[in-house]
Structure 1
């Protein structure tokens, strides 16, 4: 499913393979999820290409089809899952490290980042040990 601000409250957008047709999408949603569908609209998007390092073409994004489904009743999105604070912090530190490697900058994290990584790892270990005791 694709979140879009431009859709009406009773519409939902999906990204589907190019081989799916309107009938397939309609029958899948009605049989599997049991929803009443008023209309199915589809749009085909071509693959995007970038130049490769040696001049050849390289697929940047493969071709796909976008389907906009109109439902009988209003659709409401489920709540987005909340990131655990430690997981989010660990993700951010890992992302910084990966970006630094890609840019060819200093490979080692700074002293401050090492302290944060150590603190996050210790807190996660304490939580895991606490769960194991229970």
Structure 2
């Protein structure tokens, strides 16, 4: 969870499940933070391949794929991430 700074106020980023859709993301954010969501944009990131050379030889692997959601809130609404701590 991050706030996208001064250039785009009222926009927050979340890492979400890859199978989550925009309607589910909107409902969850509205219920968790008691705000009004105007727009949801999603970005899918593919898992990156990686390789290392070790004594045993070449070890290949892959980082996990993930999905980000950029949520735009109604003018005047904010999310306080530290209120639950």
- Give the TM-score category using the shorter length: 0.7 to 0.9
1:40, 1:69 within 8 Å by CA — same for their partners in 2? yes
**Which consecutive unaligned segments of at least 5 residues does structure 1 have?**
80-134
Instruction: Give the structure 2 partner of residue 9 of structure 1.
Output: 9
Q: What stretches of structure 1 move > 4 A for 4+ residues in a row? A: 76-79
How many Å separate the matches in 1 of 2:51 and 2:7? 35
Instruction: Give the structure 1 partner of residue 64 of structure 2.
Output: 62
- Compute the TM-score of the two structures, normalised by the length of structure 1: 0.49
How many Å separate the matches in 2 of 1:8 and 1:47? 28
> Which structure carries more relative contact order (alpha carbon 8 Å, separation 6+)?
2
1:2, 1:15 within 8 Å by CA — same for their partners in 2? no
Aligned residue pairs: how many?
A: 78
How many Å separate the matches in 2 of 1:24 and 1:30? 10
**Which consecutive unaligned segments of at least 5 residues does structure 2 have?**
none
SS at match of 1:55: strand
Instruction: Give the structure 2 partner of residue 39 of structure 1.
Output: 39
Structure 1 residues 3 and 65: alpha-carbon distance in aligned structure 2, compared to 1, 3 A threshold: same
* Largest Rg, 1 or 2: 1
Structure 1 residues 76 and 32: alpha-carbon distance in aligned structure 2, compared to 1, 3 A threshold: closer
- Greater helix share, structure number: 1
- Compute the TM-score of the two structures, normalised by the length of structure 2: 0.73
How many Å separate the matches in 2 of 1:41 and 1:3? 14
